[in-house]
Amino acid sequence: MDVSIRGRGVGVTDRFENYVGAKTEKVAHLLPKAQTFEVKISRLSDRSPQHGDRVEITVVGPGPVIRAESQGSDKYTAFDMAYGRVLERIRRMKDRKHDRRGRGRTSLGEAVAGDFNGVEVVPASIETLEAVAHGESPQQDFDGSGAEEQYTPVVIRQKEFPAERFTVDEAVDQMELVGHDFFLFVESESGKPSVVYRRKGWNYGVISLSDD
C-alpha cells in the first residue's frame, strides 16, 4: 500500500512520515487490498498557528473509498483522531459484511409498497411540495400551535455529484465509509432517486421519490 503525505501551510517532517508509516500497518492488515493511504495536512490559520491543524485521510482500494478528517492542536493530534475514525469505519464495514443487516430491516420495495408505514417517515404535505417546485420557501408548523412560520435558512451549501446506482445495502456501506448521516443515490433496481439515513444503533431508513 502506497503512503502519500502532503502539507499545505505546514511542514511534513521525517518524524511525522515515520509516525504515519507505522500507523498504516494496521490499515494494511485490515484491508490487504488497499492501494493508497493519502494524508493531507493543512494549517487552520497561517497567521495563528496555535489554532491547530486539520488532517484528512483517504484510503483508496478496489472497493469503496474510506475518508475521515479531524482537527487538533497539532498535526499528530489531528492525525490520531482522523486515523481512529478510519479504523472505526473499516471495522464497521467488516462487521456488516458478516451480518448483512437483513434481519429486522424493511426493504426498499416493501417500504414503497406500504407508503413507508412503519419506517418513521412522514411525507411532506402537498403545499410544501408545490412551494419547493415553484422555488418558494416552504412553511412549516414547528410548534404545533397551528401558526406557520417562514423557514429562512442562514446558509445553504450546494454540492453536485454524478448520479450513481447502488442497492440499498451498497448505499448504506457508502454512507458508513464516508462517515455521513445520510447518502443520496439512485436505487439500482427501481431507478428511483433515494436517500438512506442513519437511525439508532444499526438501524437505517430509506426514502425514495415516486413519479406518481
On whether both 83 and 117 belong to a single domain, the answer is no
pLDDT at site 204: 80
User: Is the pLDDT assigned to residue 37 strictly greater than 90?
Assistant: yes
Angle at 180 between CA 70 and CA 211, to 5 degrees: 155
Question: What's 120's DSSP letter?
Answer: T
Is the distance from CB of 196 to CB of 168 less than 8 angstroms?
A: yes
The total number of structural domains in the chain stands at 2
The three three-digit cell numbers of residue 113, written as one number:
409498497
The residue out of 98, 128, 156 marking a domain boundary is: 98
* Within-domain flag for 103: no
- Tell me what percent of the residues of the chain surpass a pLDDT of 70: 65
pLDDT at 67: 87
What value does the mean pLDDT take over residues 164-184?
79
pLDDT, position 135:
63
Last residue of a domain, one of 98, 119, 137: 98
Q: Rounded to 5 degrees, what are φ and ψ at 71?
A: -135, 150
Last residue of a domain, one of 98, 130, 165: 98
- Kindly report the average pLDDT of the chain as a whole number: 75
**Which residues are within 8 A (CB) of 4 and not within 5 positions of it... i.e. 6 or more apart?**
36, 37, 38, 39
88 and 10, same structural domain? Answer: yes
**Residue 195 domain boundaries:** 108-208
Q: How confident is the model at residue 79 (pLDDT cuts 50, 70, 90)?
A: very high
